[in-house]
Amino acid sequence: MFQASPHHPNRSMFAMSASPAVAARDLDDLIAAAEALIDHASRDLAPATLACSFGAEDIVLLDLVARGGFPVSVFTLDTGRLHQETYDLMQSARSHFRNVRIETYFPDATSVESYVRDHGINGFYDSVQLRERCCAVRKLEPLKRALAGKRSWITGLRREQSVTRRVTAPVEWDQANGLDKVSPLAEWSNDDVWAYIRHFDVPTNALHRRGFPSIGCAPCTRAVEPHEDPRAGRWWWENADTRECGLHPKHKTGA
């Protein structure tokens, strides 16, 4: 049973001036519910950590954590293949979110060297298996280190993002990593996310303004057309049902 957190200092202000495209009361309620989930993770599923890729959803969560002062750590995975715009946002986030320390995890250098030696610097284009192997080296192994000793992790997953995420539950057991996964924005729409960003003037990745709704590694992400699935630009050369990197494998929902 979650209880609404009193942490968010600007919640009532938000209700007065949310984007006209989104009902202010609805967003006010969504923020309260998201705060309650973060609060639940930080109190009942501690230690909790927020995974921040610096995409729009994660920036909202980072802002909620910063404003609310929730006792959760924050980490990001630098695969070594990110866009310059993402690095720019990482840098500006240091001054915008002064009360939050963001830990950066890098891939194991020996594993990257081995992959490149065997398959080439862009070997991930050759097959789904080699793409998954690259994600395993550059993302999954560092993720294991980031989650070590944690009881829950907080993610920016939303159900409407793709076919692979439609069963996302607000709290579910992450079998692969052996801890609870909390997704406070699971029920948020894209409009909800951007209404929040506009209202609180949260810094965002410049690529969003160039047609990138979802941002990952530079060689594996491209802009999408307005009518396309938000994650259609991720590993676009693969079938839609394989387009996950392993950070969020498909599995049955839990509590």
Residues in contact with ligand SF4 by the rule CB under 6 A = 79, 81, 124, 131, 134-135, 138-139, 216-217, 219-220, 245
Q: Tell me the catalytic residues.
A: 245
Query: How deeply is 117 buried, as exposed, middle or buried, from its count of CB atoms within 10 A (0-12, 13-18, 19+)?
Result: exposed
- Six-digit token string for 96: 């915008």
Q: Return the H-helix or E-strand segment holding 203.
A: none
Nearer to ligand SF4, 81 or 150 (CB): 81
Q: For ligand SF4, give the closer residue by CB, 40 or 81.
A: 81
The smaller minimum CB distance to ligand SF4, of residues 138 and 199, is found at 138
Q: Could you tell me the smallest distance in angstroms from the CB atom of residue 85 to ligand SF4?
A: 15
Q: How far is the CB of 130 from ligand SF4 (least distance, A)?
A: 8
H or E, element range at 57: helix 56-68
| DSSP of 89-123 | HHHHHHHHTTT--EEEE---HHHHHHHHHHH-TTG
Give the contacts of 37 (CB within 8 A, at least 6 positions apart): 2, 154, 170, 171, 182, 183, 184
- Name the residue whose CB lies closest to ligand SF4: 217
Distance in Å, CB of 220 to ligand SF4, minimum: 3
Based on CB atoms, which residue is closest to ligand SF4, 6 or 219?
219
The least distance separating ligand SF4 from the CB of residue 253, rounded to whole angstroms, comes to 25
